Amino acid sequence: MELDYNNDGKMDLYITCGATWMYNCDDVLLKNTGIAFVDVSREAGIPLGDNHAKEGAVGDFNLDGFVDIFIPAWGGSKRGDQPNLLLVNQGNGTFQSITAHGIGASENVENLAGGGAGSFLSYEEGRLDIIMNFEYPGPWKYFKNLTPKGSNQFLVLKVDSDEQVSTAVGARVEAWIGNHRMTRRVGHCPSLTQSVPTWVHFGLGMATYVDRVQIFYVGGLVRVFQNVSAGFHAVSELF
């Protein structure tokens, strides 16, 4: 999974292990230094990947301006069953593991093993929900994000192609609040889906607008927009 966990503008990588009893490995967080990827898993507080699913979900689930990670559990393990984990970004390069999040299978689901998960944008409230599938013959489950929003705001940008851009997929979008930079990739989606979304989502904390939005398209075009208010926007409306 691709994410900028430390808001330095460089896209980092989170790799789920699967099952330790099958693959003998742990989850890995690789920090992008600009010239290489460095394993920062332990210092960032990433838990051991005992039975984590093959795909997780990334997004700012509490709208505080830092990307979080949801990792479903997959089957049993030699250490016993593990819960699904929500890794809440603390904003200092570390994550806190949360298990009291309500994301899981009901007791009448035959297979409780999570096959994968993805973030899903709620157009009503601007928060990211979770969609999760369970291994055969388990169903798909949709979990609504009820995290208290408080005064935290959001920005959703729909980045489409136009007469100058043949495709927006792959573009890098930066949102700046003062010196605080958040970065997203257009078209980022979990491998368990067939869709390629062209919107990007940012939590803004208590900021009501973004000082600057910069979009770096794959073909080299760069667009800059100043003083973009919180809420939903299509890039075509910002010109």
* Claim to verify: residue 125 and residue 191 sit in the same structural domain: no
Residue 44 has pLDDT above 50, yes or no: yes
Residues 139 and 159 in one domain: no
Are 157 and 135 in contact, with CB atoms under 8 Å apart?
no
The answer to whether the CB of 65 falls within 8 A of the CB of 177 is yes
pLDDT tens digits, one per residue of 129-187: 888 777 666 677 788 888 877 899 999 999 988 888 878 999 999 999 999 999 999 98
pLDDT digits (tens, 9 = 90+) for 69-126: 988 877 554 445 567 888 999 999 999 988 777 676 544 444 455 556 677 776 667 8
* Last-in-domain residue among 108, 143, 178: 143
Query: In terms of domains, do 186 and 131 share one?
Result: no
In a domain, 172, yes or no: yes
In a domain, 119, yes or no: yes
136 lies in the same domain as 188 = no
The percentage of the chain sitting over the pLDDT mark of 90, rounded to a whole number, equals: 48
Q: What percent of the chain has pLDDT over 70?
A: 77
Collect contacts of 214-223 with beta carbons under 8 A, ≥24 apart: 214/173, 214/174, 214/176, 215/159, 215/171, 215/172, 215/173, 215/174, 216/171, 216/172, 216/173, 216/174, 217/165, 217/168, 217/170, 217/171, 218/167, 218/169, 218/170, 218/171, 219/165, 219/166, 221/164, 221/165
Average pLDDT over every residue of 45-60: 78
What's the burial of 118, exposed, middle or buried (CB within 10 Å: 0-12/13-18/19+)? Answer: buried
Same domain, 167 and 204: yes
Residue 128 has pLDDT above 60, yes or no: yes
Residue 71 contacts residue 16 (beta carbons within 8 Å)? yes
So what's the pLDDT on residue 239? 81
Decide which of 143, 163, 182 is a domain's last residue.
143
Q: Which H or E run includes 21?
A: helix 20-23
Are the CB atoms for 130 and 120 separated by under 8 Å?
yes
- How many residues would you count in the chain? 239
Range of the domain at 203: 153-237
Structural domain tally of the chain?
2
